[in-house]
Amino acid sequence: MLSHLLTLAITATSALVAAQSADIRDSVGPLTTIASKTAVRTCDITDYGAVADGQTDISDALNSAFADCKAGGVVVIPDGDFALATWVTMNGGTAWALQLDGTIYRTGTGGGNMLFIEHGYDFELFSSTGKGAMQGYGYEFHLNGSLTGPRLLRFAKMTSFAVHDIVLVDSPSFHFSMDTCDSGEVYNMVIRGGNSGGLDGIDVWSTNMWIHDIEVTNKDECVTVKSPAKNIIVEQIYCNWSGGCAMGSLGGNVNVSAITYQNIYTWTSNQMYMIKSNGGSGTVSDVVLENFIGHGNAYSLDIDQYWSSMSTVPGSGVQLNNIQVTNWTGTETDGSRRGPIKIICAYDAPCTGVDLSDIKMWTESGDIQKYVCSSAYTNSSSAYCLSSGSGEDGEQHAGFDAATVTVTAAPSGYEATTMPGDLATHSWGTTAEIPIPTIPSSFFPGTGPIKALAG
């Protein structure tokens, strides 16, 4: 019954993002099929000297295979255990792909990026079996308190690409970053990192990106948008004992617009969604956060423009405008301490057009929950703790101190389903090897992946 009601809710609210979403979904991803690329050439790294013994460095073989297939073709890392001791940068390339069916194990100790793919066009990184993985053994760094090791995967200035059906495990640092890319699609992935800050799942600051059907376990960002960014859709995300999804940290000259998160499931995480900054300048506009389910999270909706975990940036604050939040259900751990709505905006740059509707959440402990708002204005009749004021006809919005609303009864309809894969504990911490998981069959309650899983 809950899944049926959820499906109806998703259908009813899809109009909020239909115009934005359809345009992005139809225009992102690689331009050439894998079959067409395979017909041009296949470059199997074992033909270039790679050995699947888990010890022999494959960097030379991978570089040679890339050189032969970068102008069209498929570089293949077949089934097997492969060691990477020297990081590989793949610069350029058109109409090519990297097929990762084996497992790459980190054996080197340098910083930077284990795989750095940049300045390419019409590219695809994928596993044909859904079993391809990168194992970073980050715990070997974290045992000594270090988070300065390499990222597993970084893209920069890539255009018309896709990454899908692979698993990223235990990065020494961030798992996957996309820097100044365009027209990309990322989907059907699991990212599993240590239980520590500084181990982000996916960070993206790019244009025209579609990220969907991702599971992340860590203790920092799940899927996060940074500045600059425009026209990004993030949907069917499973933050399974994670830091939760977020935007930021936002600093100076911020330029973020047309961002949609929908169908987000968050279990035992820092927050369901956070927008974070401290000082700074620039704008965030036209953000949609819809169809969120949460259980056992510290924060739910957390907009904090005085975020104490970052140093204050010069400026009067990042201007947030037109933030639409709708259809949130589930529970938070302690609603009296950290209620489901916390919107603390910059006093000298108040938030405008923060419109909340159907926020149906309740506390797991105690019998009250609190909404807290500061310097935040709404156009909606559902004010919660917000102040009314559209800003039309030259009206100037003034900052105001925190206003608190205390709720003493659970809202009707807050109950929400759970997922069978919800972790009972983050048992790996940062001191032991994290096993490589399999990709789940669902990333959001009652739905399957938008695109079929490989294999």
Write out the catalytic residue numbers: 220, 295
If you search the block for the tokens 């793949």, which residue do you land on?
A: 90
Q: What's the DSSP call for residue 23?
A: H
Which residues lie below 8 Å from residue 176, measured CB to CB, with a gap of 6+? 151, 152, 153, 154, 163, 168, 186, 191, 201, 202, 203
What is the phi/psi pair of residue 54, to 5°? 70, 5
DSSP for 257-316, written as a single string: EEEEEEEEEEES-S-SEEEEEBB--EEEEEEEEEEEEEEEES-SEEEETB-TTSPPBSSS
138, 199 contact by CB (below 8 A): yes
82, 54 contact by CB (below 8 A): yes
210, 239 contact by CB (below 8 A): no
- Altogether, the residues listed in the chain come to a count of 455
180, 203 contact by CB (below 8 A): no
DSSP for 154-191, written as a single string: EEES-EEEEEESEEEE--SS-SEEEEEEEEEEEEEEEE
If you search the block for the tokens 């990026």, which residue do you land on?
A: 113
DSSP for 77-129, written as a single string: E-SSEEEE-S-EEEE--EEEEEEE-SEEEE----SSEEEEEES-EEEEEE-SS
384, 406 contact by CB (below 8 A): no
CA distance 415 to 5: 11
| CA quadruple 383, 389, 392, 397: dihedral sign | negative
CA distance 305 to 313: 11
Using alpha carbons, select from 419, 404, 332 the residue that is nearest to residue 372.
404
